[in-house]
Amino acid sequence: MDERTIRIITTGGTFDKQYDAVRGELIFRESQLPRILNQARVTLPVHLDSLLAVDSLVMTEEERQRIALNALSSVERMVVIVHGTDTMVKTAMLLESMKRDDDGHVFVFTGAMIPYSLENSDAVFNLGCALSFVQTAASGVYITMGGRLYDASNVRKNKEKGIFESLS
């Protein structure tokens, strides 16, 4: 297992959406990750894997399986998964259920409430937290949003407040 390189799997979600002025809606073009990593002057060895570009509200169970299998087969021990926030917990729980007990990977899901391409986005901060936490957390499946790290089995998205919070 590669102990130094961080794999970043992009699956879509608000994080990577861009405003299309002609259609008047947010759409997927190309991943914003290369620009963000460059802007943040990230010097860590990173392998980008643009797996999907889909809104998590319309993500199929087959796509969730694909994300989980891709993450589990990663040669990199540290894996960040950029995912839509609406069903991030669902995909993280699927990955947790498929992971063997002796799996040494650290999986950290993150996303954004506001697209990177728009003002006041939380995308860069959340990605920075994910890159830090993936290097320091014990093996397992986690979600980071708003500067906090949650066990995948102990978090929910509070849609009324627009935040993630612990279940207990």
In order of their start, the domains of the chain are: 2-166 (3.40.50.1170)
**Closest residue by Cα to residue 32 from 146, 98, 112, 92:** 112
Pairwise CA distance, residues 44 & 128, whole Å: 11
The pLDDT tens digits of the residues spanning 57-110 come to 889 999 999 999 999 999 999 999 999 999 999 999 999 999 999 999 999 999
C-alpha distances out from residue 141 to 6, 144, 164, Å: 15, 10, 16
- Model's pTM, two decimal places? 0.91
* pLDDT band with cut points at 50, 70 and 90 for residue 32: confident
**Token pair for 4:** 């130094």
| pLDDT surpasses 80 at 18 | no
C-alpha distances out from residue 53 to 27, 143, 160, Å: 9, 19, 26
Q: What are phi and psi of 18, to 5 degrees?
A: -130, 150
Which parts of the chain are beta strand (E)?
2-12, 17-20, 25-28, 46-54, 76-82, 106-110, 140-145, 148-151, 155-158, 163-166
Return mean pLDDT, the chain. Answer: 90
The pLDDT tens digits of the residues spanning 133-158 come to 999 999 999 999 999 999 999 999 99
- What pLDDT does residue 130 have? 97
Q: Which residue has the tokens 């992009």?
A: 10
**Token pair for 5:** 């390189």
